Structure 1
Amino acid sequence: MKKWIALPVLVAVLLLGYLAAGPFIAYNAIREAVQAQDTAELAEHVDFPELRRNLKLQVDDYVVRKAGADVQSSLLGAFAVRIASGIAGGMVDTMVTPVGIGALMEGRSVWHRASGGGITDNTYETAPTPDRLQEADYGFESLSRFTATVQSEDGQPLTFVLSRQGLEWKLTDIRLPLGSDAESL
């Protein structure tokens, strides 16, 4: 009789352990895919439609806040803000690809990543990029949301948000440092 009770308890403990370790496993897989520049592996751990939506919302909010109330109150200003938001949304669509996400996570530009990296003294050799993702501050925001925060090259916090989708964890948001002191997109 005790065996029948122990088996479901064991299964429940193993399932809870897997759910707790899931975001760490997914984040480590993302980090390894970025280091190996394996875009196919990276794409398996990213929910691209959700990530695009979240980044567009952040960029739109930034554009509107940067424009200010004075610009938005005029018809021409509101039209300009709308055009700027559309251009910024197009840029997000262009950047949210496996190559673009990998470059952002490495702290490099997309062109830098696509061309193979920095040039060293030997023009045929590329400089290795530092693994900024290794020293992240981790934390659960809820049972289905996990964050990993790293410092960008200029010292700004860059937060990667993984969300649980069933038993899988996927990258669904990147909280960009678009505060009031940011100068450019």
Structure 2
Amino acid sequence: MTRTTRSVFVALVVIVVVAALGFVYASPYIALDRVKRAADARDAQTVNEYVDFPALRDSLKQQVTELLTRRIDIQKSGNPLAVIGAMIGAALVGPLVDSYATPDGVAAILNGIPPRGDPGERPPVPSAASDSSVASGPVPAPEAPKPPQTTAGYRSFNTFVVTYQHGAGDARYSAIFRRSGLVSWRLVAVDLNG
């Protein structure tokens, strides 16, 4: 091997290694984009590849139960009917969690609409195209809600966190992804405390 051939070979190896490391680093951002697009498109098969639903369900159950417990603690000194309402909400944690541990729920979470812990709460359903036979004229488009401020980054080598906040005074929450393999990531938890 000549010196020039060796230099070219070393340069190619360095380029391949840097590209591979760049791909490993970017892999959670790619996974986040893919799962968000799939959830928005209601592509359940693709969402299932990027979401660990049993782990997400456990996380949501814990987070919503804590949210309701804090509400009950705050309302104990106030209105007794509010306490009863919060207790009823605590009894309905299961159905709320089940409704958010779905592709529609994942779409809501990744679009800045986390569960609030309200009794009977369900993730918003995408609006269907209006039926022209029912409408008698042009229907004004609803004003789109302002997208949340989003930050994303590694918490550790195997944990990637996306934090959402709608405004400076609004509550924050996080979607937590865990590494599953070298470049595969799955949504495993939600932290409603930010």
TM-score bin, normalised by smaller chain: 0.5 to 0.7
Aligned twin of 1:158: 173
- Are 1:149 and 2:148 an aligned pair? no
Q: How far apart are residue 157 of structure 1 and its match?
A: 1.8
Counterpart AA for 1:173? A
Give the equivalent residue in structure 1 for 2:123. 110
167, 171, 175: which is aligned to 2:191? 175
Residue of structure 2 equivalent to 1:55: 60
Unpaired segments of 5 or more residues in structure 2? 77-84, 114-121, 131-136
How many residues get paired? 166
**Which structure: larger Rg?**
2
Residue 104 of structure 2 contacts residue 125 of structure 2 at CA under 8 Å; is this kept in 1? no
Q: 1:129 to 1:19 in 2, by over 3 A?
A: farther
Q: If the length of structure 2 is used for normalisation, what is the TM-score?
A: 0.63
**TM-score, normalising length from structure 1?**
0.65
> Is contact 2:112–2:165 with CA below 8 Å preserved after alignment?
no
- Name which of 93, 98, 112 aligns with 2:98: 93
Listed one character per residue, the Cα deviations across residues 53-89 of structure 1 (whole Å, up to 9, x for unaligned) are 11111122223333339x7xxxxxxxx9987544213
The residue number in structure 2 matching 1:76 is none
> Relative to structure 1, is the Cα distance of residues 155 and 81 closer, same or farther in structure 2, using a 3 angstrom cutoff?
closer
Q: Structure 1 pair 112/129, CA: closer, same or farther in 2 (3 Å)?
A: farther
1:137 aligns with 2:151: yes
TM-aligned CA distance change 1:60 to 1:8, over 3 Å = farther
**Distance 1:84-1:136 versus aligned 2 partners, 3 A rule:** closer
Would the aligned equivalents of 1:117 and 1:128 in 2 still touch at CA under 8 Å? no
Indicate the residue corresponding to 1:29 in structure 2. 34
For residues 179 and 37 of structure 2, the distance between their equivalents in structure 1, rounded to whole angstroms, comes to 20
Aligned partners of 1:164 and 1:50: how far apart in 2?
13
Paired residues of 1:148 and 1:161 also in contact (CA < 8 A): yes
Counterpart for residue 183 of structure 1: none
Which is worse superposed, 84-93 or 24-33?
84-93
> SS of the residue aligned with 2:45?
helix
**SS of alignment partner, residue 161 of structure 1:** strand
User: Judging changes above 3 Å, is the alpha-carbon distance between structure 1 residues 155 and 19 closer, same or farther for their aligned structure 2 residues?
Assistant: same
Q: Distance in 2 between matches of 1:29 and 1:67?
A: 38
> Structure 1 stretch 41-50 or stretch 154-163: which is displaced more?
154-163
Report the structure, 1 or 2, having the larger helix content: 1
Alpha-carbon RMSD across the aligned residues, in angstroms, is 4.2
Check conservation: 2:174, 2:190, Cα contact below 8 A: yes
What residue ranges of structure 1 are gaps of 5+ in the alignment? 72-79, 179-185
- Secondary structure at the residue paired with 1:166? coil
